[in-house]
Amino acid sequence: MRFFHLSDLHIGRYLHGYSLADQQREILAQIVQWAKKERPDAIVIAGDIYDKPSPSGEAVLLFDRFLTELSRLKPQIPVMIISGNHDSPKRLQYAGALLKEHQIYLAAQPPGKEEDYLSKLILTDKYGEIVFYMLPYIRPQAVRQALEEGQTDSYHRAVKGLLERENPDWNKRNVLIAHQFFTAGSFRPQTSDSETIHVGGMDNVDIEAVHQFDYVALGHIHGAQKVKESHIRYCGSPMKYSVSEWRQEKGILLVEMGKKGEPLMYRTLPLAAPKDVVKKKGTLKEILAEGKCGDFVSVTLTDEKELYQPREILEEYFPNLLEVKVENKRTKKMFEEETEISWDDDPMTVFEQFFREMQGRDMTEEERSVMKETAEKAGEEKV
């Protein structure tokens, strides 16, 4: 069986104030063309369909057109879609029963009660059945009524608990579609600026919870990569959604599954937006010498002398200028001074410095007294 693995469409997204609607329209059209050419047995979209829980009318129409074009392909290709952390489950699930008649299967709502289970789709090929389990993005508190006490005190235990309830037949080929932040022990996937990962890894799910599946189709991370094991993969977003992604190659991950236990085959079908995201670094003179560019451009200037209105000059060459940064000896020194922290300093001294930088004045005696009392209480509680 051959199927497309997609995720993180983020329809309706803006990049530094620029609408990406035209770019996304072209990318979605390319996906349809690849589906016409490759004729996959299924298409998997692992969450973050929209960029916001309340997408614009333009974004909804864009996705509607995409699904309509896919549903018109003959023979019809089953499309499986789960919600991501950017999606509103209720909005995404709208018209789910109607779409199911056209082989478009939505799983936007996680199990909310003890009697609720994951949506599944069973497809067959010459080797037998393949069971696709559709796990929408979950927060532990959202599934607490479906799980036993103690299973919702972490993302990992919540995901593991939900999957254990399904009791998959491991003699069959099983595919999991999920949208979470998966890690493998101390191994963490490479992230970019366009993803939201909780500080301290509170939303981590270890692959120990899913490693028995024959393939795990993941969404959430925008760079295509495996999570330590080759059958647990993020396909990446279909286009670049931040400057930090400028080197990434975008595409559709085509997965080919044979007999149970056989290695999976992977192929990337390239996708290219009309406008690329590029970074340029150098002096203003060097960058302008490269000529005009219609792509989305991030510029880092290295001139030591202060320039007069460099952004206005650059915008003449780069009409889709995203940002202008300055990196020279002066800015490096300023950064080092701002980030230099001595952990041996008295906490009150550090806070007074922070207060001065934020407020532009020294603390009053009353403010200093309140802060000192607070610090002392915190120290007592720590002890």
Q: Structure pTM?
A: 0.85
Determine the pLDDT at residue 192. Answer: 86
Buried b (16+ CB within 10 A) or exposed e, 307-338: eeebeeebeebbebbbebeeeeeeeeeeeeee
Contact 43, 269 (CB under 8 A): no
Q: pLDDT below 50 — which residues of the chain?
A: 199, 343-344, 381-383
Q: How far apart are CA 63 and CA 50, in angstroms?
A: 9
Determine the pLDDT at residue 199. Answer: 46
Contact 179, 219 (CB under 8 A): yes
Determine the pLDDT at residue 382. Answer: 43
Contact 289, 260 (CB under 8 A): no
